[in-house]
């Protein structure tokens, strides 16, 4: 079992942009791990971790970004609720994969890490 308190403490040491970048990275991992049926538990863990990243980040974000993060958190929770059904259906797994990719790109844009200085 993960030590969520230790992860939270470490995660909150980063600035907002980096935290959003880490969330985007998690979402990209969800996308890539959905390709292999053997990764069900791993992806389920990434869903939970991503929800926590949002919880720990949204409070420090601008209102618009926080609102979008809450929308993402709801989507992650919906996937978790139906996870067994989703994971055993290749079509639904593909939907999770694609939506994770879209969210990853969106969160990365929100982070500002791609901005040219």
> Given 3-state DSSP classes, what are the helix, strand and coil percentages for the chain, each rounded to the nearest 5?
80, 0, 20
Q: Inform me whether the pLDDT recorded for 13 exceeds 60.
A: yes
Contact 80, 44 (CB under 8 A): yes
d(CA 27, CA 73): 12
Per-residue pLDDT at 53 exceeds 90 = yes
Q: What pLDDT, on a 0 to 100 scale, did the predictor assign at position 114?
A: 86
Question: The whole model's pTM is what?
Answer: 0.92
Enumerate the domain spans of the chain: 25-111
Token reading at 61: 């974000």
What CA–CA distance (Å, rounded) separates 69 from 54? 6
CB 79 within 8 A of CB 47: yes
Going by pLDDT thresholds of 50, 70 and 90, the confidence category of residue 1 is low
What pLDDT, on the 0 to 100 scale, is given for residue 116?
Answer: 57
Please say if the pLDDT value at position 24 is more than 70. Answer: yes
Sign, CA torsion 54/55/58/60: negative
Whether the predicted pLDDT of 4 surpasses 90: no
For residue range 62-97, what is the model confidence (pLDDT) as tens digits?
A: 999 999 999 999 999 999 999 999 999 999 999 999
Whether the per-residue pLDDT at 45 is higher than 90: the answer is yes
* Residue 94, token pair as written in the block: 């593909």
Q: Which helix (H) or strand (E) holds 106?
A: helix 90-111
């Amino acid at each position: 079992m993960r030590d969520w308190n230790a992860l939270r403490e470490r995660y909150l040491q980063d600035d907002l942009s980096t935290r959003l970048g880490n969330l985007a990275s998690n979402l990209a991992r969800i996308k890539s791990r959905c390709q292999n049926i053997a990764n069900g538990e791993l992806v389920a863990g990434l869903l939970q971790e991503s929800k926590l990243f949002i919880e720990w980040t949204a409070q420090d974000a601008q209102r618009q970004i926080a609102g979008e993060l809450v929308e993402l958190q709801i989507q992650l929770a919906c996937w978790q609720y139906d996870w067994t059904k989703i994971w055993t259906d290749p079509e639904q797994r593909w939907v999770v994969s694609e939506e994770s990719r879209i969210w990853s790109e969106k969160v990365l844009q929100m982070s500002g890490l791609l901005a040219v200085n």
